[in-house]
Amino acid sequence: QKEVEQNSGPLSVPEGAIASLNCTYSDRGSQSFFWYRQYSGKSPELIMFIYSNGDKEDGRFTAQLNKASQYVSLLIRDSQPSDSATYLCAVRSGGSYIPTFGRGTSLIVHP
Amino acid sequence: NAGVTQTPKFRILKIGQSMTLQCTQDMNHNYMYWYRQDPGMGLKLIYYSVGAGITDKGEVPNGYNVSRSTTEDFPLRLELAAPSQTSVYFCASSPPPGTSETEQFFGPGTRLTVL
């Protein structure tokens, strides 16, 4: 059973701070890692993907992957109230078409 | 370019009724997926398709059926609706995994209640 674990939160951070969202996974064969943002009542939107160990930056978002420790994280710098949403982590094994999703972490950025 | 569209947006069914959730994409994506999302939970894959005429089961296929006669359309059929099928259903599409990972798109969802 492939498992993807996220703290459901909510994670509350002040505006301008760095929000750190974490995700661990059980399948050592996992090769692709995704972060989705989902606003309340809306559909998920892919915001980051990573497949190599280390950091990947895109604007205010940084994804960090550590395959040895089986975790992937998402950092949001200069957090804004508009970043308040649920962030879903998804992991896909090599040779698979199908990602496994975590339950998501709720992020609240307060002014 | 409408992306992924789903109909209806909302539906209330009685136990034992049947319905079809429609999903259409206009991006010529080979891969299409149906997920359900229960409150406070992540997405659970119901069925997926890698191309017209090819479908396969996901994690939670019981009580559902799909077909894929064209690249654009991937309807999800609920037979004999049960309260356990109350959920939000998302359709998604993408190119083959590993080709263009940023091109993953979800439809707006169908909120289904079975009473």
pLDDT range class, residue A109, cuts 50, 70, 90: very high
Pick from A50, A45, A33: nearest CA to A85? A45
| Structure tokens, B64 | 């559902």
* Range ranked top by mean pLDDT from A1-10, A43-52, A96-105: A43-52
Interface test with B, best of A1, A3, A35, A46 (most B CBs within 10 A): A46
Nearest to A98 among B48, B98, B107 (CB): B48
A57-92 tens-digit pLDDT: 999 999 999 999 999 999 999 999 999 999 999 999
Please check whether residue B90 is in contact with residue B107, taking contact to mean a CB–CB distance below 8 angstroms: yes
Q: How far is B43 from chain A (nearest CA, A)?
A: 6
Residues of A in contact with B43 (CB under 8 A): 44, 88, 90, 101
The torsion angles phi and psi of B104, rounded to 5 degrees, stand at: -115, 125
Q: How far is B107 from chain A (nearest CA, A)?
A: 7
How far apart are alpha carbons B48 and B93 in whole angstroms? 9
A40 at interface of B, judged by CB pairs closer than 8 A: no
How far apart are alpha carbons B103 and B84 in whole angstroms? 32
pLDDT of residue A97: 77
Q: How far is B30 from chain A (nearest CA, A)?
A: 12
In tens digits, chain B (115 residues) has pLDDT values of 679 999 999 999 999 999 999 999 999 999 999 999 998 888 999 999 999 999 999 999 999 999 999 999 999 999 999 999 999 999 999 988 878 777 889 999 999 999 9
Q: Do A32 and B31 touch (CB under 8 A)?
A: no
A34-54 tens-digit pLDDT: 999 999 999 999 999 999 999
Nearest to A92 among B96, B97, B109 (CB): B97
Which chain B residue shows the shortest CA-CA distance from A106?
Answer: B40
How far apart are alpha carbons B28 and B7 in whole angstroms? 19
Instruction: Classify residue A14 as exposed, middle or buried by CB count within 10 Å of its CB (0-12, 13-18, 19+).
Output: exposed
